[in-house]
């Protein structure tokens, strides 16, 4: 090949590369425009959701609204104030994150609405009629706080509430999405699973960490790293037997559950075992007993593995008995006992760019989401740098990383692992590692890295967020949130 031929080949390759990059950029902005476009006259269903629950409920509400009129389901951050100003009807479905904060995909919209209300006296949204559904957990002090704040801000901007703020309490018993009380055509679909393995990863009594493996009874559903599994837990068989014995009832007695004859022992699997004392119609009382509350877990695997895995910290009540969800999953559940669960889409924690560096930070059972993100990159043969900072208590009892990801470590040439042990020498938390490596964190973020944080919000999640604020500055961190490069899978 002559020098001229090599030159023309190089030019052709450069042009082809530029065309490919241009296509990617144009496609990205086209998808962004489509995501944010709202048809004139459409009924807007806007959601703000940190873990996907509010998004799921918004989609279900949109199904109920659809008729001759178009309905647009849109993340709150994708909704422009000017678009809302021209709308007539809207439903807002929002959760509350942390200590009364908006979820990450609602922060920008709420800031813009607040800013307008402070700077202008005009009734910007005077043509808008709306209602708000707020999701929260009454076990926490900031129950539905963001829903309340949004409701006030909308009224301050001139919008008219057509109904009082509706609050949905996560702490209360609820049906699993897709049960018989929901629309059969709803996108809420539960599937049936069995526990096939319960592997204890550490050797610490009283705070055992398990990797729990589930097999689906049907075709394996689709999910992505960052998604969540909502589980309908079961009572332990011993608890059911004690309850039946106390009330002198036969476990094989058949009662009709929504028209389906069902043995009593199966009906009681998912019910709160309240006392029957003074109950007239015992069968009706049993049917009226609330369901056990759902339990949500970050998924620790990807579909390429052929199984769904969870990381579960076994919890205990003050009297020493295991918690309902964690105790059942890690101890009592077996392959002979099918149960219902629902894979929940959690787009805030999806990381599509696999060719950029990734910073993973977590502690305890937060290893679940971390493992899933690593699995995604492993099966995609990504060679981008990965920096894992993981915290536990004891280096002797809690060295859980090898058992969780050992099979993949050789496949990650650019994997760096730093562990922090609060009861080690010296005692450290993940935020201490971050502070010591502040310059390195700034450098990898400047290279386009995504950040994924998984674990408890109280303590670890709050400390990590504050440390990032100290290192990067609040404005830079908010920009990362707006760019969807800072993913918080904390609970």
Query: CA-CA distance, 202 to 363, in Å (whole number)?
Result: 13
Q: How many residues does the chain have?
A: 491
Instruction: Give per-residue pLDDT as tens, 443-487.
Output: 999 999 999 999 999 899 999 999 999 999 999 999 999 999 999
Under the banding of pLDDT at 50, 70 and 90, the label for residue 176 is: very low
Cβ(479)–Cβ(485) below 8 Å? no
Cβ(95)–Cβ(135) below 8 Å? yes
Q: Which residues contact 472 (CB under 8 A, 6 or more apart)?
A: 442, 445, 480
- The confidence score (pLDDT) of residue 174 equals 57
Query: CA-CA distance, 281 to 288, in Å (whole number)?
Result: 11
Instruction: Give per-residue pLDDT as tens, 139-159.
Output: 888 999 999 999 999 999 999
- The confidence score (pLDDT) of residue 254 equals 95
- Tell whether the model's pLDDT for residue 28 goes beyond 80: no
Cβ(199)–Cβ(210) below 8 Å? yes
Query: CA-CA distance, 201 to 300, in Å (whole number)?
Result: 14
The mean pLDDT of 431-451, rounded to a whole number, is 98
Kindly report the number of other CB atoms within 10 A of residue 172's CB atom. 11
Query: CA-CA distance, 185 to 183, in Å (whole number)?
Result: 5
- Cis link prior to 91 (omega < 30° from 0)? no
- The confidence score (pLDDT) of residue 9 equals 62
Instruction: Give per-residue pLDDT as tens, 56-77.
Output: 999 999 998 866 679 999 999 9
- The confidence score (pLDDT) of residue 171 equals 66
- Tell whether the model's pLDDT for residue 183 goes beyond 80: no
Instruction: Sketch out the chain's domains with CATH numbers.
Output: 43-169 (3.40.50.360), 191-344 (2.40.30.10), 347-490 (3.40.50.80)
Kindly report the number of other CB atoms within 10 A of residue 275's CB atom. 10
Q: What DSSP string runs through 139-169?
A: TSTTTTHHHHHHHHHHHHTT-EESSPPEEEE
- The confidence score (pLDDT) of residue 380 equals 94
Pairing label, strands 89-95, 129-136: parallel
Q: Is 349 helix (H, G, I), strand (E, B) or coil?
A: helix
- The confidence score (pLDDT) of residue 6 equals 61
Under the banding of pLDDT at 50, 70 and 90, the label for residue 407 is: confident
């Amino acid at each position: 090949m002559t020098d001229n031929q090599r030159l023309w080949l190089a030019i052709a390759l450069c042009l082809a590369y530029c065309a490919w990059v241009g296509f990617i950029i144009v496609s990205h902005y086209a998808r962004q425009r489509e995501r944010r476009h709202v048809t004139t006259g459409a009924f807007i269903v806007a959601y703000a959701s940190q873990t996907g629950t509010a998004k799921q409920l918004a989609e279900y509400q949109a199904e109920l609204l659809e008729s001759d009129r178009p309905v647009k389901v849109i993340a709150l951050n994708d909704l422009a104030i000017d678009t809302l100003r021209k709308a007539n009807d809207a439903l807002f479905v929002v959760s509350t994150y942390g200590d009364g904060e908006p979820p990450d995909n609602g922060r920008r919209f709420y800031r813009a609405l607040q800013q307008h209300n402070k700077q202008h006296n005009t009734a910007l949204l005077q043509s808008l009629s709306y209602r708000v559904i707020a999701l929260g957990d009454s076990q926490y002090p900031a129950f539905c706080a963001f829903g309340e704040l949004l409701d006030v801000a909308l009224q301050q901007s001139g919008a008219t509430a057509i109904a009082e703020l509706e609050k949905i309490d996560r702490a209360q018993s609820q049906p699993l999405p897709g049960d018989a009380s929901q629309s059969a055509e709803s996108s809420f679909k539960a599937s049936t699973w069995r526990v096939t393995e319960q592997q204890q990863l550490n050797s610490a009594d009283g705070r055992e960490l398990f990797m729990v493996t589930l097999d689906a009874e049907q075709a394996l559903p689709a999910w992505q790293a960052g998604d969540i599994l909502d589980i309908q837990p079961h009572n332990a068989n011993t608890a059911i037997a004690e309850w039946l014995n106390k009330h002198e009832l036969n476990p094989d007695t058949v009662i009709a559950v929504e028209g389906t004859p069902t043995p009593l022992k199966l009906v009681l699997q998912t019910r709160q075992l309240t006392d029957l004392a003074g109950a007239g119609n015992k069968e009706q009382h049993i049917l009226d007993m609330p369901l056990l509350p759902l339990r949500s877990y970050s998924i620790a695997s990807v579909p390429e593995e052929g199984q769904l895995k969870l990381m579960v910290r076994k919890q205990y009540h003050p009297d020493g008995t295991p918690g309902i969800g964690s105790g059942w999953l890690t101890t009592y559940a077996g392959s002979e006992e099918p149960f219902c669960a629902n894979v929940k889409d959690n787009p805030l924690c999806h990381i599509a760019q696999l060719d950029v560096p990734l910073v993973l930070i977590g502690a305890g059972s937060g290893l679940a989401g971390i493992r899933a993100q690593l699995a995604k990159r492993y099966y995609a043969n990504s060679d981008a740098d990965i920096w894992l900072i993981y915290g536990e208590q004891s280096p002797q009892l809690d060295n859980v990383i090898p058992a969780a990801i050992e099979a993949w470590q050789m496949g990650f040439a650019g994997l760096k692992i730093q562990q922090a042990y609060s009861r080690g020498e010296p005692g450290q938390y993940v935020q201490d590692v971050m502070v010591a490596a502040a310059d390195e964190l700034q450098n990898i973020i400047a290279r386009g890295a995504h950040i994924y944080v998984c674990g408890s919000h109280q303590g670890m999640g709050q400390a990590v967020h504050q440390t990032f604020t100290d290192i990067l500055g609040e404005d830079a961190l908010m920009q990362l949130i707006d760019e969807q490069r800072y993913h918080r899978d904390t609970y």
